């Protein structure tokens, strides 16, 4: 009876290592360098990027460290001829509750006809410690913002966000 348990434990351990390795928060795009232009990568047809920075605080306005933050494009209510796709990056807040993240458009182009290249984005903050194994975190909130995408080769203007989580 102990043999199947050891095998299951080993399998669970190896699976968690792969899961953590595949969901790293330290991707090259997570590091944001102020004043650096949106890169033109060779893997995909990167056609622009946007940057979000801000702070996550508790109910008393205290900065919250270690909260994971990630922007997620909101679904568009209007049909788009060619949908855009973005990389996904989640970064932890620092000791002052600050975060800064940049997302690149991996597919899709700027609108034709001189229309503004904007996108509605949910900036989601999650306290991962408020969940558990198989239990989603219960402390989370988001803010809906509009970002302007900078074309490849241009420096994006960051959008600033402040999110308050129900943490005393």
DSSP assignment string, the chain = -HHHHHHHHHHHHHHHHHHHHHT-S--TTTS--TTPPPP--SSS----EEEEEEEEE-TTS-B-TT-EEEEEEPPPSS--SS--EE----EE--TTSEEEEEEEEEE--PPSTT---EEEEEEEEE-GGG-BTTB--S-EEEEEEEEEPBPTTSPPPPEEEEEE-S--
Q: pTM of the prediction?
A: 0.73
Phi, psi dihedral angles at 26 (to 5 degrees): -110, 55
The residue whose two tokens read 């920075």 is: 53
Instruction: Read off the pLDDT of residues 121-144 as tens digits, 9 standing for 90 and up.
Output: 899 999 999 999 999 999 999 999
Instruction: Read off the pLDDT of residues 57-100 as tens digits, 9 standing for 90 and up.
Output: 999 999 999 999 998 878 766 665 556 677 888 999 999 999 99
Name the band, by pLDDT with cuts 50, 70 and 90, for residue 23: very low
Q: Which CATH number fits domain 27-164: 3.40.50.150, 3.30.70.660, 3.40.50.170, 2.60.40.10?
A: 2.60.40.10
Do residues 91 and 65 make contact, with C-beta atoms less than 8 angstroms apart?
Answer: no
C-alpha–C-alpha distance, residues 148 and 120, integer Å? 9
Instruction: Read off the pLDDT of residues 29-57 as tens digits, 9 standing for 90 and up.
Output: 444 566 888 887 656 667 788 999 999 99
- Does the pLDDT of residue 20 top 80, yes or no? no
- Does the pLDDT of residue 114 top 90, yes or no? no
C-alpha–C-alpha distance, residues 50 and 144, integer Å? 14
């Amino acid at each position: 009876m102990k043999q199947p348990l050891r095998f299951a434990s080993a399998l669970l351990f190896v699976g968690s290592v792969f899961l953590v390795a595949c969901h790293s928060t330290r991707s090259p795009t997570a590091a944001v360098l102020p004043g650096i232009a949106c890169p033109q990568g060779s893997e995909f047809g990167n056609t622009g990027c946007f940057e979000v920075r801000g702070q996550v605080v508790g109910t008393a306005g205290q900065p919250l460290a270690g909260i994971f933050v990630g922007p997620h494009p909101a679904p568009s209510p209007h049909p788009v001829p060619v949908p855009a796709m973005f990389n996904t990056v989640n970064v932890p807040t620092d000791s002052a509750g600050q975060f800064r993240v940049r997302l690149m458009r991996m597919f899709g182009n700027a609108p034709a006809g001189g229309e503004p290249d904007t996108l509605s984005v949910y900036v989601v903050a999650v306290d991962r410690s408020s969940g558990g194994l198989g239990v989603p975190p219960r402390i989370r909130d988001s803010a809906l913002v509009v970002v302007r995408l900078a074309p490849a080769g241009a420096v994006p203007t960051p959008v600033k966000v402040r999110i308050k989580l129900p943490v005393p």
